[in-house]
Amino acid sequence: MGKATAPTPGQGSLTEIQEFASFPAGTQRYIRRALDIGLDRHDAVVRWSRDVMEEANIRAQARLYERLDLIRAHAPKDNGIDVLELFLAPLISVSAFDLAQGRLNDFAAYRFLYERLLGARARPWLPAAFCGAACLPHLHPDLRRRLLQSISEAAATATGWSGREPSFFPQWVDKVDEARSATDGL
């Protein structure tokens, strides 16, 4: 048997695109919105709010996401526990907000978002942050159960993680006016 080869960057991107496409539409929307806020890509209120309640929610998320710079700065370079307070505690707090929104329905969606918000260096810590946030009492017991059941044993007990940075960062896609685009092609 030949040696297994690492996926090419194009294969990795395609896998990420396929994973994103497998999420429900509401999850996809939430991930794109969270990336706009967390990566400071666009004015999320202008782009994403459909009413005053959603605007208030986006503003609350943006205030919480101000902690992401601190979290990124303290992402452990190894598996040492000496920086856990500065990294894991705020990560659990931010994660708790996101999970409470009810749009990240499982560990896969959470991991997808947070790998992009924090980078590959945070990957080994995501199962702990997810489980910590999913256990908090502000979540309904049914949601806690569903979230905790979504993390596979393999994800929770992995012995190693890829150091490859994510390459696909989903963004807002403008709707195309089909009648107009049909006449533009003539």
For 149-169, b/e burial (b = at least 16 CB within 10 A) is ebbeeeeeeeeebeeeebebe
- Residues 6 or more apart whose CB falls under 8 angstroms from that of 33 comprise 44, 47, 48, 58
Report pLDDT for 156. Answer: 85
What gap in Å lies between CA 157 and CA 154, rounded to an integer? 5
Give me the sign of the Cα torsion angle 83, 100, 16, 153: positive
Report pLDDT for 176. Answer: 56
What are the backbone dihedrals phi and psi of residue 136, each rounded to the nearest 5 degrees, phi first?
A: -70, 145
Give, for all 186 residues of the chain, the pLDDT tens digit. 444 455 565 677 888 889 999 999 999 999 999 999 999 998 999 989 999 999 999 999 999 999 999 999 998 887 767 778 889 999 999 999 999 999 999 999 999 999 999 999 999 999 999 999 999 999 999 999 999 999 998 888 887 787 788 878 888 776 655 555 555 555
What gap in Å lies between CA 96 and CA 98, rounded to an integer? 5
Q: What angle do CA 111, 99, 17 make, to 5 degrees?
A: 35
Report pLDDT for 167. Answer: 79
Report pLDDT for 2. Answer: 44
pTM of the model: 0.85
- Give the distance, in angstroms, between the CA of residue 11 and the centroid of all CA atoms in the same chain: 20
Q: Is-contact 62 47, C-beta < 8 A?
A: no
